[in-house]
Structure 1
């Protein structure tokens, strides 16, 4: 069974639902254009409430070291997720500088996009395959888009990657059966409106991702 990450947590109700449903990670978004953005104060409060109950991943988009450092401290982060156009060199620099695992989001629409993942394998601790958003989109993810999961065929059984992009309580079981990912990640798929997490959908997603648990 894959690990589960609920991204874009911004309220205590959503946090409590993720912990209750035994998700492995929450994602805290440090990107102001996102409706899921949290500032340092909110991140600190959520981290304090979470305690050791769940892992915390900070999402950053082409962020400088100062913003990453602030988010890392405020959210007591266990990992950093780079979701912009960061190069493999930048990913390696962030991992070396901050000393925590680094996840790199890979935007996917075609088989050619999958080829870019190889350049990041040695720089990142985990590659997160997410649906590519339109070129003029304001956000790099969290839009409910999905890509052709058959593109992940060669990644079946390999460690160090995760599946994101359009995952919902209704389709995550099929996604897991088809791709066998080590981790699944959802955000808009457990929302009632952009940025508004639905505790019932969080619980349903976790149940669907771990039907035997």
Structure 2
């Protein structure tokens, strides 16, 4: 991410290209059954939207580890790249240990944690943009159910599991000790809320009960989705 205190210095086009290169380098084209060239062509139409919307918002830059904010994230849906395949491609900032799915997800259960109606990704290509992303540390210590209600009242949207993995993939700086985050946009019909936190010096995808607050776990959200 570009570190700047002035919005004109943030190059949204360069940031979009960086995110594409990151996905290609990590093997997302192969996960989606495409060549690197075909994968780049698939996401290319999103570039203009990323630039235009970021420029209109006047993003001020800054260190994501401190601000907890990211102007946009390029998301690849699970229909192209399953979470079981993408989570091990994540790492902590400056770390080497791969991310992992917690064993509290019983076999086959992760696929049941899907986007709710309001958080369903737009478009049909399996890729979309997430804008004005916040990790939501203000909700640390808040009951997840209450945090979700506040997010909705503000006209924002909680992140899905795929979007949380995408945020961590592109900007690993946002996941830091005592500022981890829930992904309330994916649910499976019970009281479990997926979340990303740090375990054994690596990112972990787990879940917590919607009625249980944690001092180190906030609620990630975004301003909009676009395909």
TM-score with structure 1 length normalisation? 0.27
TM-score with structure 2 length normalisation? 0.26
